[in-house]
Amino acid sequence: MMKRSLGLSYLLVAMLALQGCAGWNLEKRGENGGAAQAAAVEARKDAPVVIVGAGLTGLTIAYELKKAGIDSLIIEASPRIGGRIQTVTFADGVTAEAHMEEYFARSPAVALLKELDLPVIEDVAHSTVRLEGKIYPYQGEGDRDQYLAGIFNAEERAAFLKWNEKAWGIYSKLHASHYEGKPLPPELAELMRISFAEFISRDKLPHKVSEWIRATVEPEMAIEWDKIAALDGIDEMRLFLDTPEGFGEKNYHVRGGNTRFTEALTARLKPDQMMTQARVTAIDQTATGVKLRVLVKEREYIEVTGRMAVVTVPVNHIGRIQFSPALTPEKWKAINTTKMGSYIKVHFRVAPEAAPLWSQNGESILTMLSDTQAGSVYDVSDLQGSSMAGRDQVLTLLLHARFARDLMNQPLDEVREKSAEALDKLFPGVRKHIKYSEIFVYPQAVAYWPLELGRSRFDALADDLRSPQGRIYFGGDTTVDSHSEGAVVSALNISRHLIERKAELK
Ligand SMILES: Cc1cc2nc3c(=O)[nH]c(=O)nc-3n(C[C@H](O)[C@H](O)[C@H](O)COP(=O)(O)OP(=O)(O)OC[C@H]3O[C@@H](n4cnc5c(N)ncnc54)[C@H](O)[C@@H]3O)c2cc1C
Given this model, what pLDDT does residue 382 score? 65
Over the stretch 469-494, which tens digit does the pLDDT of each residue have?
Answer: 999 999 999 999 999 999 999 999 99
How many Å lie between the centroid of ligand 1 and the Cα of residue 405?
Answer: 19
Say if ligand 1 is within 6 A of residue 442 CB. yes
Mean pLDDT of 323-335: 98
168 contact partners, CB below 8 Å, separation of at least 6: 241, 242, 243
**Structure confidence at residue 42 as a pLDDT band (50, 70, 90):** low
**Structure confidence at residue 380 as a pLDDT band (50, 70, 90):** confident
Given this model, what pLDDT does residue 21 score? 31
CA distance linking residue 360 with residue 79, whole number of Å: 44
Question: If 0-12 CB within 10 Å is exposed, 13-18 middle and 19+ buried, where does residue 469 land?
Answer: middle
Given this model, what pLDDT does residue 362 score? 86
* Bigger pLDDT: 23 vs 43: 43
**Structure confidence at residue 8 as a pLDDT band (50, 70, 90):** very low
| 62: nearest Cα among 262, 225, 252, 198 | 262
Given this model, what pLDDT does residue 16 score? 28
Over the stretch 83-134, which tens digit does the pLDDT of each residue have?
Answer: 999 999 998 888 899 999 999 999 999 999 999 999 999 999 999 999 999 9
Question: Which domains, ranges and CATH numbers included, belong to the chain?
Answer: 46-84+257-338+451-505 (3.50.50.60), 137-247 (1.10.405), 340-448 (3.90.660.10)
Please state at what angle helix 207-221 crosses helix 154-176, rounded to 10 degrees.
Answer: 40
How many Å lie between the centroid of ligand 1 and the Cα of residue 409?
Answer: 22
Question: Among 33-47, 324-338, 462-476, 483-497, which is the least confidently predicted range?
Answer: 33-47
Q: Count Cα atoms within 13 angstroms, Cβ side, for 258.
A: 25
Asked if 73 and 57 count as a contact pair (C-beta separation under 8 A), the reply is no
Over the stretch 432-445, which tens digit does the pLDDT of each residue have?
Answer: 999 999 999 999 99
**Structure confidence at residue 25 as a pLDDT band (50, 70, 90):** very low
CA angle 379, 383, 384 (to 5 degrees): 115
How many Å lie between the centroid of ligand 1 and the Cα of residue 377?
Answer: 22
Q: Sign of dihedral through CA atoms 397, 398, 401, 404?
A: positive
Asked if 303 and 45 count as a contact pair (C-beta separation under 8 A), the reply is yes
- Residue 3, pLDDT > 90, answer no
* Among 438, 484, 489, residue to substitute to test ligand 1 (most atoms within 8 Å of Cβ): 484
Report which listed range, 37-41, 92-96, 428-432, is most confident: 428-432
Given this model, what pLDDT does residue 390 score? 75
* Among 56, 100, 296, residue to substitute to test ligand 1 (most atoms within 8 Å of Cβ): 100
Nearest C-alpha to atom 31 of ligand 1 is from which residue? 55
Quick one: DSSP state of residue 81? S
Neighbours of 258 (CB within 10 A): 27
Please report which helix (H) or strand (E) contains residue 299, including its range.
none
| 53: nearest Cα among 284, 334, 316 | 316
- Residue 29, pLDDT > 70, answer no
CA distance linking residue 503 with residue 254, whole number of Å: 37
Given this model, what pLDDT does residue 68 score? 97
Given this model, what pLDDT does residue 17 score? 28
CA dihedral 435, 440, 441, 446 (to 10 degrees): -140
| 143: nearest Cα among 124, 166, 171 | 124
Given this model, what pLDDT does residue 383 score? 65
Asked if 406 and 361 count as a contact pair (C-beta separation under 8 A), the reply is no
Say if ligand 1 is within 6 A of residue 484 CB. yes
CA distance linking residue 367 with residue 364, whole number of Å: 8
Given this model, what pLDDT does residue 27 score? 35
